Amino acid sequence: MTVEEQAKLIIEKFPRVHGDTDPFRVLIRTILSQRSRDENTDEAAERLFGAGYDTPEKLAKAKPEDLYNLIRPAGMFRQKARRIIETSREILERFNGRVPDTLEELISLPGVGRKTANIVLYVSFGKPALAVDTHVHRISNRLGWVRTRIPEQTEMELMRILPKELWGPINGSMVEFGKKICLPRNPKCDLCPLKEVCPSANTDG
């Protein structure tokens, strides 16, 4: 089974549906998600947007302490509050209130790295972009698709070996796969659809 076939199987078996595609809300939610569990990110984002902080204009006027209790579930709330306010102000000042749709412009914003930028590009703008988080980096190496040390190297390698139409979907599906089956410790190899081709199945499981 080729790497492409394995990737397609993961996408098929572990689909992720992105409900909200608004570029600004996706951007803020992804910043909140850094080093945070999905359920905590969801709670923080819902509280923040539910309190009316759902546009660059509204967040740009906020003070960090206004947001602390709202985004506390996501962790690192002081740092993240400053980042999303600074990002909102830059979107207003530099991009006329619109979230930019290029990688270069997105990563110029405070607290926005390649992973966050690529998620926004794919989810909100439908562009081929490959977001590599800890799940994608770990599982790609475990499956033997790549031999890389850092996520940035994994991103470049996966872009080289996977067709563009898989770049966007593979992130969300890898996250679901990593949470349900391919756990960091004690992976459920007996339930894995790729156990026959995974070089780590006999040693990790």
Active site residue 115: yes
For 116: left if phi > 0, alpha if psi spans -120 to 50, otherwise beta; the answer is alpha
Closest CA to 26 of 87, 92, 94, 89: 87
Q: Using CB atoms within 10 A of its CB, is residue 141 exposed (0-12), middle (13-18) or buried (19+)?
A: middle
Q: How many angstroms separate the CA atoms of 86 and 27, rounded? A: 13
- Nearest-angstrom CA–CA distance, 132 and 152: 7
Q: State the distance between the two ends of the chain, measured CA to CA, in whole angstroms.
A: 20
- Asked about 127 being catalytic, the answer comes back as no
Rg of the chain (C-alpha set): 18
The residues, any chain, with a CB within 8 Å of residue 201's CB and separated by 6 or more, are 189, 192, 194, 195
Exactly one of 8, 22, 54, 133 is catalytic; name it. 133
Catalytic residue (one of 101, 115, 188, 190): 115
Strands (E) across the chain are located at none
Cβ contact 122:168 at 8 Å: yes
Catalytic residues: 115, 133
